[in-house]
Structure 1
Amino acid sequence: MSVTDQEWEEFKSKFNKAYSDPDEDKMRRGHYEKSKQIVEEHNKKYESGAATWKMGINHLSDLTEEEYAMRCGKKVAPPTCV
């Protein structure tokens, strides 16, 4: 599945996203594309009755797994000294 340039620009505009350089934009777009795929696969289950709730794209859809986990309260262990 591919995200169109227009869709990507609309996502960034809707959620007031701006990235520091083209490499970050490309990386974030990849995370958004993965999120969109997960949402669409889940919503197919919802439509068939196999799931009881529906997913959607939101302001977190371009985050890495680590960023998402931190944002949702995952604790990070402090570095250990060897």
Structure 2
Amino acid sequence: MSLVSDQEWEEYKSKFEKSYSDEAEDQMRRGRYQKSKQTVEEHNKKYENGEVTWKMAINHLSDLTEEEYSMRCGKKVTPPTST
């Protein structure tokens, strides 16, 4: 797994102007960023091996949960039905 150094995490937050409400959220977001970084690295190895035709990179969305990312990218949520 790709580890994220304190310096790398601080640089990410600074570059994308990120701030979190408390230490717990900061740690959760850091974990999401770490997962994103691992996904990017695995994908880019495939790119280098000619298995895919495009590269991935870390961006301002790299600290979002899957649900937050889906919502931000237009996923429609169906409200629960009452019984």
Q: Please confirm whether the aligned pair reaches a TM-score higher than 0.5, indicating the same fold.
A: yes
- Unaligned residue ranges in structure 2 (runs of 5+): none
For residues 77 and 49 of structure 1, the distance between their equivalents in structure 2, rounded to whole angstroms, comes to 39
Q: Does 1:59 align with 2:66?
A: no
For residues 80 and 60 of structure 1, the distance between their equivalents in structure 2, rounded to whole angstroms, comes to 31
Q: In the alignment, what sits opposite 1:35?
A: 36
Q: In the alignment, what sits opposite 1:74?
A: 75
For residues 59 and 37 of structure 1, the distance between their equivalents in structure 2, rounded to whole angstroms, comes to 16
The 5 Å alignment of 1:14-29 reads: 14-29=15-30
**TM-score of the superposed pair, with normalisation by structure 2:** 0.97
Deviation at residue 80 of structure 1 after TM alignment: 1.3
RMSD of Structure 2 on Structure 1 (CA): 0.5
- Unaligned residue ranges in structure 1 (runs of 5+): none
Across the two proteins, how many residue pairs are aligned to each other? 82
**TM-score of the superposed pair, with normalisation by structure 1:** 0.98
For residues 77 and 27 of structure 1, the distance between their equivalents in structure 2, rounded to whole angstroms, comes to 26
For residues 18 and 75 of structure 1, the distance between their equivalents in structure 2, rounded to whole angstroms, comes to 27
